[in-house]
Amino acid sequence: MDTRRLYLLLELSRLGSMREVAEVHRLTTSTVSQQIAALAKETGAQLIEPDGRRVRLTPAGLRLADHAVTILAAVDAARLDLDPDAEPAGTLRVGGFATGIRASLLPVVAALAKTHPKVNVVVHEYEPVEAFALLADDDLDLALTYDYDLAPASPSAVLETVPLWSTPWGLGIPAGGPREVTAYADMPWIVNSRNTADENAVRTLASLAGFVPQIAHQIDSLDLVEDLIVEGYGVGLLPAHRQVREGVQVVPLTDPGVVMTAYAVTRRGRATWPPLKLVLDRLTPRTRTVPPLPVR
As a whole number of angstroms, the distance between CA 195 and CA 83 comes to 36
As a whole number of angstroms, the distance between CA 105 and CA 243 comes to 20
- Taking only the tens place, the pLDDT of each residue in 205-229 is 999 999 999 999 999 899 999 999 9
Give mean pLDDT, residues 121-148: 93
pLDDT at 122: 95
pLDDT band with cut points at 50, 70 and 90 for residue 169:
very high
Helix 29-43 crosses helix 59-82 at what angle (to 10 degrees)? 100
Rounded to the nearest 5°, which phi and psi values hold at 285? -80, 160
Report the Cα 145 to chain-centroid distance in Å. Answer: 10
Give mean pLDDT, residues 171-193: 96
Q: Is the pLDDT of residue 295 over 50?
A: no
What H or E segment, with its residue span, contains residue 55? strand 54-57
Q: Is the pLDDT of residue 296 over 50?
A: no
pLDDT band with cut points at 50, 70 and 90 for residue 241:
confident
Within 13 A of 8's CA, how many CA atoms are on the CB side? 28
The model's pTM is 0.70
Of 15, 295, 293, 11, residue with least CA distance to 146: 293
pLDDT at 136: 85
Give mean pLDDT, residues 187-194: 94
As a whole number of angstroms, the distance between CA 107 and CA 119 comes to 14
Q: Contact 160/132 with Cβ under 8 angstroms?
A: no
Q: Contact 95/126 with Cβ under 8 angstroms?
A: yes
